[in-house]
Amino acid sequence: MRYLVTISYDGSNFYGFQRLVGQRSVQEELEKVLTIINKKKTQIKGAGRTDKGVHAYGQRAHFDLDISIPKDKLKKAINDMLPSDIRITNISIVEDSFHARFNVKKKIYQYKINIGEYDPLLNNYYYQFNNKLNMNTLRKCAKLFLGVHMFKNFVSGTRDNYQAIIYKISIKKEKNFITITFVGQSFYRYMVRNMVGAMLDVSTNKASINDIKEMLEKYDIKKQLSCAPAQGLYLMKIFY
């Protein structure tokens, strides 16, 4: 039977979601528990990767069990054995043809920034920018990323295809905290962090809006602005 789970985790002490030899990962912790429950080696397939230090409220993954367990009992059994920085928040039964990665229709990410005074308690959960930002400029930059673009200059590593769709970017400021929400179809490695970094560079006059336009339009000319740190990034929700 195939199960789809929603996973919440504090990424501070993980090397990322994906299993890596010699490094602590969310995938490995989940697979350890599922192997015990299923009484045989059991692997999960995630909806996507998150990097070292990135957090999640709504990561998704599927796995197959040889035994049938009611969803509520399975959720409790998994959570009872997981470390305190991971939790399964929802479980559903899906068709055997379902795939957590290939069936994704939309993802929501958020990036959190502290523009106020430095706060050591926020280190793992906000980008401690600790400087004022021009909100109008941030919003102007955000509009440039909307729609279909080749994001080659905003992605780390090489891919066969760099095209992605960004449906919506919203920016909210509450006191000294800024939250930037990205809604899109596909997000590649470091893509959100590079978009945020570029927006911050323009807002602080380290780059211009034309730089971002050029990076999107002339994607074969390699150019990169700042990359925002991982700890401010959250995978919020995945839609199927």
Task: Centre a 10 Å sphere on the Cβ of residue 213 and count the other Cβ atoms it contains.
Answer: 12
Do the beta carbons of residue 34 and residue 62 sit within 8 Å?
no
As given in the structure block, the two tokens for residue 2 are 């195939």
d(CA 48, CA 44): 11
Catalytic residue among 10, 51, 64, 85: 51
Across 186-206, b (16+ Cβ under 10 Å) vs e yields bbbebbbbbbbbbbbbbbeee
72 burial via Cβ count (<10 Å: 0-12, 13-18, 19+):
exposed
> Mind giving me the DSSP string for 197-220?
HHHHHHHTTSS-HHHHHHHHHSTT
Q: What is the Cα 38 distance to its own chain's centre?
A: 29
Helix residue ranges, H only, 101-220:
135-145, 191-203, 209-217
Give yes or no: 51 in active site.
Answer: yes
Do the beta carbons of residue 120 and residue 227 sit within 8 Å?
no
Q: What is the Cα 141 distance to its own chain's centre?
A: 20
Task: Centre a 10 Å sphere on the Cβ of residue 14 and count the other Cβ atoms it contains.
Answer: 27
What positions carry a catalytic annotation? Answer: 51
